[in-house]
Structure 1
Amino acid sequence: DLELKGVERALKFLPSARAWDKEDLERLKAEVLAADALAHPRLLATKGFEHDPPYAAIVMEYVDGSTLKQRLAKAPQKFFEPAEIKNWITQIVEALVFLHRDAERLHRDVKPANVIVDKAGRTKLMDFGISEEIRHTISRHSRMTDVPASPSTNSSHTLAYASPQQVRGEAPSEWDDIYGLGALMYELLTGCPPFFRGDALMVGLQIQTQVPPSVAARRAELMRERRITGIGQPTEERRVWSPPVWPKSSGIGPPWKRSPPSCAEARCQRC
């Protein structure tokens, strides 16, 4: 059914289509088509769903560029300076604000591999709009994770960028995306996400119980930017983490002007 008519498109092939049952495929197709209605310049547009056994693929807008994960791998020092990532982060924030406020949707898997940057420096957030259940189905078939050597205990998200709430299997919220943004910023500046050592069980335990090391702890020259990804500290009540904070000197304001959860729900850092 796919007619490109001279327009370039990208195809994201899904794993092991033969193993999918009809109900899974129909749900996925419906959600992909629903995501097509979410139009924003900072979101990678979905254009359809194709199923030609044994293959199934999501049809997406084509962008001539590379993901932040790919750019980080090619960076000479394997990290970036704050000034280098400023525009990327600003644009990712624009995408998340649209998803949360206007579309009332969540991303659930914000990470460097899900942000693509074109040759002009414009970013687009990828892989949004698919429900937790469908993500889990996709991951169950692919058995893939971004934490080396061991699968995630909850493969509907990428463990290294998952909030403590996600790791515990709590109801999704926009704070999961905000935590993911903080972890993404942290990795761009230091070369690694806040927690990455050990197997999936150990990483998940660290996310839930430990305070992330400061950016300056990994790069002493960023001491003045130590709050740049203020992922925060867990409270005694719920161990929910605060949103990322960007220093006032950077010129980037708070990404969400709305009031954060009360101190009983989250311990917030102020610039």
Structure 2
Amino acid sequence: MLEELFAQAVELPPGEREPFLARACGDDDALRAEVTALVESAAGAAVAVRGVIAEAAAEIAPAAAATLPSALIGTRLGPYRITTLIGEGGMGTVFRAVRDDTEFLRVVAIKVLRRGSASPAEVARLRDERQILASLDHPGIVRLFDGGTTGGGGVPYLVMEHVEGVPLTEHARDLPVAARVALLRQVCAAVQHAHQHLVVHRDLKPSNILVDKDGVPKLLDFGIAKLLDPGGREAQTRTGMALLTLEYASPEQARGEPVSVATDVYALGAVLYEVLTGRPPQRAGDDMLATLRAICEVDPPRPSAVAPATDRREVAGDLDNIVMRALQKSPTTRYPSVAAFADDLERYLCGQPVAARAATFGYRAGKFARRHRGALALVLV
């Protein structure tokens, strides 16, 4: 009944929905309210999607005039000689480069916008990213070394630490469950550092977290990060205009609402979900509106229900509760901060009761007994 009414109401012009629901629902005020909420959520998601599509179309329209990335290989940007292509993204291209002047030798990564296709919004976002990285100093965040503008076109570029590593999920694939949780705990420390400097990342996902040869996770790509204190920011993107990665996007992002530190808490919960199960909590389908509706309204299965059979017993219980609290639909019912999320992960690793689970006497006593198994055995003897 609910699904049928929603399907009919969402197709009607806004002015005809209220009379239709009044007739169809009769005296069932609860049903009417639920259908109305679903329709409003779908309408908000549609506006957000249209905004994203419009902005993306405006920014890629001049792409035909862009310089091919391969044309930059072998050229120089200041003292840096570009050697190979690392990858391409929505905002630009990242190259491996070498500083090989008389001062010193250093391998770096250079992020540069495509010459000829850079819109004013993209240029502003890259400059914002440069300023954000300059304000952050943490071993878990890629370091900014330099920046400038290209000759001729005057397109800005970033010179960053080059991380020889693999995406978080690839590195974590064969690790024990506790080691995977400890790895995510390190990522939380980097994100919390950004939050302390009033920076919300907004695009946390495994491909933006590389683990280096020493096993240290490094947080990358602050291209759509949001400054909670917008003073000095150049890019003026409207709410909901960020280019979302739907598998890790929070409900407030899907609805085009303002983001906060709780948005990054949700994304970290989604990353932990995938690290534990091998799949993200939401899957992006061909129907974007259906995907956005699922993000806003459908809870994913608990991690232990979809984790590999060998891990399900260890994931069930505390980790289920930790992940599902981070993935709450409402920002106010998630962990209040990334630090609080990280603290619960630490409590899990230490065998202590976690905040995400009801503190019953039996639960706390069981945790105490497991932590002090040896001492209790001596007492019983």
Scaled to the shorter chain, the TM-score interval is 0.7 to 0.9
Go from structure 1 to structure 2 and tell me whether the alpha carbon gap of 1:47 and 1:269 turns closer, same or farther (over 3 Å shift): same
Aligned to 1:242: 334
Match of 1:25 in 2: 123
Alignment partner, residue 139 of structure 2: 41
Q: Distance in 2 between the 1:253 and 1:6 partners?
A: 48
Contact 1:209 1:239 in 2 (8 A): no
Cα shift at 1:241:
5.4
SS of equivalent residue, structure 1 residue 17: coil
1:1-12 map, 5 Å? 2-3=78-79, 4=99, 5-12=104-111
Is residue 283 of structure 2 the alignment partner of residue 191 of structure 1? no
State the secondary structure of the residue aligned to 1:226: helix
Match of 2:316 in 1: 223
Alignment partner of 1:206 is 2:294:
yes
Q: Which runs of 5+ in 2 are unaligned?
A: 1-76, 80-98, 227-233, 336-340, 359-381
Query: Counterpart of 1:251?
Result: 350
Distance 1:39 1:19, change over 3 A: same
Distance 1:157 1:59, change over 3 A: farther
1:37 partner letter: S
Q: Is the 8 A contact 1:116 1:126 kept in 2?
A: yes
Secondary structure of the 2:221 match is coil
C-alpha contact (below 8 Å) 1:68/1:115 kept by paired residues? yes
In 1: Cα distance, 2:304 partner to 2:202 partner: 27
Q: How many residues align?
A: 234
User: Letter of the aligned partner of 2:78 in structure 1?
Assistant: L
Query: Are 2:165 and 1:65 aligned?
Result: yes
* Distance (Å, rounded) in 2 between the aligned partners of 1:194 and 1:6: 43
**Structure 2 residue 202 is the aligned partner of structure 1 residue 108:** yes
Q: Which residue of 1 aligns with 2:244?
A: 157
Offset from partner CA, 1:49-100 (integer Å, 9 cap, x none): 354349764321112222214436xx46xxx542231331121111122111
Shift of residue 129 of structure 1? 6.7
Q: Give the 5 Å matches for 1:45-56.
A: 45-52=143-150, 53=153
CA–CA distance in structure 1, aligned partners of residues 212 and 235 of structure 2? 28
Task: Letter of the 1:124 partner, please give it.
Answer: K
Per-residue CA shift, 1:81-123, capped at 9, x if unaligned? 422313311211111221112x121111111111111111111
Q: CA 1:104 to 1:30, structure 2 compared with 1: closer, same or farther past 3 Å?
A: closer
From 210, 216, 231, the counterpart of 1:122? 216
CA gap of 1:56–1:253, structure 2 versus 1, over 3 A, is farther
Structure 1 CA distance, aligned partners of 2:253 and 2:316? 30
Query: CA separation of 1:62/1:191 partners in 2, compared to 1, >3 Å: closer, same or farther?
Result: same
Aligned mates of 2:211, 2:142 — CA distance in 1: 11
Matched residue type, 2:261: E
Contact conserved, 2:209 with 2:220, CA < 8 A, in 1?
yes
Which protein has the bigger helix share? 2
Work out the CA distance in 1 between the residues paired with 2:142 and 2:162: 8
Structure 1 regions of 5+ residues with no counterpart? 138-152, 256-267
> Are 2:181 and 1:86 aligned?
yes
Counterpart check, 1:177 vs 2:271: no
CA distance in structure 2 between the aligned counterparts of 1:11 and 1:179, rounded to whole angstroms = 30
Q: Describe the shift of the 1:83–1:23 C-alpha distance in structure 2 as closer, same or farther (beyond 3 A).
A: closer
Distance 1:239 1:20 in 2: 34
Q: In structure 1, give the amino acid aligned to 2:191.
A: L
CA RMSD, 1 decimal? 3.4
Alignment TM-score, normalising by the size of structure 1: 0.72
Distance 1:17 1:69 in 2: 33
Q: 1:227 Cα shift?
A: 1.9
If asked which structure has higher relative contact order (CA below 8 Å, sep 6+), I would say 1
Deviates more, 1:205-214 or 1:216-225: 216-225
Deviation for aligned residue 1:135 = 10
TM-score, normalised relative to structure 2: 0.53
Residues 132, 199 of structure 2: 8 Å contact kept: no
